[in-house]
Structure formats: structure tokens, C-alpha cells
Homo-oligomer: A and B are copies of this chain.
Amino acid sequence: MNNDRVFNFSAGPSVLPEEVLSIAAKEMLNYNNSGMSVMEMSHRSKVYESIISDAEKHLRSLMNIPDHYKVLFLQGGASTQFAMVPLNLFTKYKRASYIDTGSWASKAAKEANKYGEAVVIASSKEDNYSHIPKLDPSIFPKDVDYFHITTNNTIYGTRYTPENIPDTGSTPLIGDMSSNILSEYYDINKFSLIYAGAQKNMGPAGVTIVIIKEELIGHAMDITPTMLDYKTHADNDSLYNTPPCYSIYMCKLVFEWLIKQGGLAAIEEKNKYKANLLYSYIDNSTLFKNPVAVEDRSLMNITFITGNQELDASFVKEAAQKGLVNLKGHRSVGGMRASIYNAMPVEGVEKLIAFMKEFEAKHK
């Protein structure tokens, strides 16, 4: 690692592979002998078309996305998807099931209420979102247009494991995968639509990936803005208007890096190794604890507290002085949070644990 760089535990935007940043820097003034930066290219040029089609091809291969799903590169973040999902999918009942596993899941439901009814069928709010509600599929309403979950909850450090994805039968399952897409293998076939902002595991903020079954496209409400209709983008291979070209290029580089790492199987193994290192240490610590139900723990965002706010603040401050930065928990929950996305090297987690041990020895 470049010695000037810190270990960045930010929840998002977040660490990117150093190797990818180096390629981007090197290609900044002249991409692949085109004589120009990717930022300067017409989105309708052959050279750019090969960038966006490679990005799609790599993502399809990494996630094993079947042909009857479209892959779209959009703008506006997950927050825009909170509206696009109901605007496009409220076709029959104008009602959908939402599971409330945190602040983002709750915002998604609130936005859907503008266009119909978001039925919150389960919530872990009363337990400070420290677990994923256990669901009995027999209670799932049938008269809904879709069923929405947030697969990883960045703020609280919980996740649906791949085994725990609800079986919603014939009701389309929608997953906000913003903070754990590409971190481990989920079976796409369980979902009808997956969306994710790029700024955790894919690239810079400014591009949102949507993976959507073709049959869900083309039924948007009349009031849907053209740019918020999935059909607009599906019909034009994400080139209806100028897409966020450079951010898509960065995603392509990250996808190539992931493939070089050995694909999702290898990155999943590495992520489990990193998370396990940190959880094991915390579980054996007398100073730090993690408040999340063991079976629902996130591989990406690991929260921990000392139980003493002043001590938490000292920890965050002293860690930063050692080049371990952005460890402060979300303002709504306090404590600490280490976001260890795909691009966080094992070395970063080891250094963090070494510092936690040192801190614990001083404060026990």
C-alpha cells in the first residue's frame, strides 16, 4: 500500500481498490490510446460503448445474472429508487409489503406511500434495529404488487444472509442491495429487482445499478417522469440521455478487479475472513461489544461500542491519529462502525484490531 494513504472505514462513499485508482490516474489524460479522458468521450462513441457494455458484461458474469433481467446504469441513488419502484411496480393493487430493518428501509416505505400503500409487515425498530425480523411466509399478504427488503443495513450492521432471503412466492421481491452488493453470493432468481448505489462496493457515488426482470418493465404509472420510467432506460441500454459515464467506467474497473480477485466466491471468502477476525475479537473483548444478533450480522458494517460515550469519542480520535479513519458510528446510533467493504484490505482490519487491543489494554 501507498504509505500516504489511510485505512478508510467510511460507510460510503468508501474505500476503493488502490490498484483501480492507480489505473484511473494513469488513464486520466488518455484512455486506451483514444487521445482523451473517459470524461471527455461522447457517450455515443464506439470507445465509450465498449466501456459500458464491458461493465454490464462483467456484472452479469460476477452476479450470474440471467438473460431475462436487464441491467441498468441510472442516476439519483437508492433514494430515487424509493420512488421509481412504486411508480413502476404499483400496477394492480397499489400496495406493497415492506420490512422495516432500519432508517433506509423506512424511508423507502415512506416514499412508496406517496403512490399507494406501503404495508410494513415486520419491523425491528423497537429493538433498535439490532436484528432482522424473523418472518413466517404464511403471514405475507398476497394482494400486493411487490415485497421490499433492504439486504444490508449500513447504520445498524445487520444483513439478510443469502439463506435468509424471504421466499415471497409469486410476489416480486425487491432488494435494496446498496451496501452489500457483490460482497457475497445471493441467488438473483430470488429477486425480481435489485438496486444499489455504487458508492460502497462498486465505484464512486453518482451511478445506481438496477437489475430488473424484463416482465416488470413497461407498466409505469402515467405520472411517472420519463427519466424515472425503467422502460426509458431499458429500451436505450442506459443511453437515453448522457449517463454518468466516468462513474460507470470506474465500476468497470472495480468489476475487473473483482474478477481478478477470483470473483464473488473469492471475495465472499475474504469478506467472511475479515468480518470474522473483527467479530471474534469483539466477542472476546471485555471493553467492546457488538449489539447485533449473531445470525444477522453484516459482513460489511461492523458496529461496536464501549458503553461509554466519552471513551467512544477518544477511540475514534486516537484511531484517526493512527491512520484508521472514519470509525465514528452513524449520528443516529453513536458508538463506532467499521465499514469493511470489498476494497478494505485484510491488513486494514488487522491494524484496526491491533489498535483496539492496545486501546482496551489502556482502558480496562
Contacts and interface: CB of A to CB of B under 8 A. Distances in A.
Interface of A: 2, 4-6, 8, 10-16, 18, 21-22, 24-26, 28-30, 33-37, 39-43, 45, 75-80, 82-84, 87, 111, 114-115, 197, 199, 203-207, 222-223, 225-228, 240-247, 250, 323, 325-326
Given A25-B29, A39-B203, A199-B245, 14 more contacts: A4-B29, A4-B30, A8-B35, A8-B36, A10-B41, A13-B40, A35-B325, A39-B205, A77-B227, A80-B227, A83-B226, A114-B225, A114-B226, A223-B223
Contact of A15 (B34, B40, B243): B40
Contact of A76 (B15, B29, B87, B227): B227
Most chain B Cβ neighbours within 10 Å, of A28, A33, A114: A28
* Identical copies in the complex: 2
Most chain B Cβ neighbours within 10 Å, of A14, A25, A36, A207: A36
B14 A40 contact: yes
Contact of A242 (B35, B197, B203): B197
Contacts of A15: 36, 40
B2 A29 contact: yes
A240 B205 CA distance: 13
Contact of A16 (B25, B40, B250): B40
A330 to B, nearest CB: 10
9 smallest CB-CB distances across A and B, nearest first, come from A206-B244, A6-B35, A83-B225, A25-B28, A75-B75, A39-B204, A79-B241, A205-B242, A206-B206
Contacts of A35: 4-6, 8, 323, 325
Given A83-B226, A204-B245, A247-B246, A28 B39 contact: no
Most chain B Cβ neighbours within 10 Å, of A12, A29, A204: A204
Contacts of A12: 42, 242
Contact of A43 (B2, B4, B205): B205
Contacts of A222: 114
Given A43-B205, A244-B206, A246-B204, A5 B30 contact: yes
A226 B82 contact: yes
Nearest to A203: B39
Most chain B Cβ neighbours within 10 Å, of A40, A115, A245: A40
A10 to B, nearest CB: 5
A78 B241 CA distance: 9
Nearest to A42: B10
Most chain B Cβ neighbours within 10 Å, of A16, A21, A82, A205: A205
Nearest to A81: B227
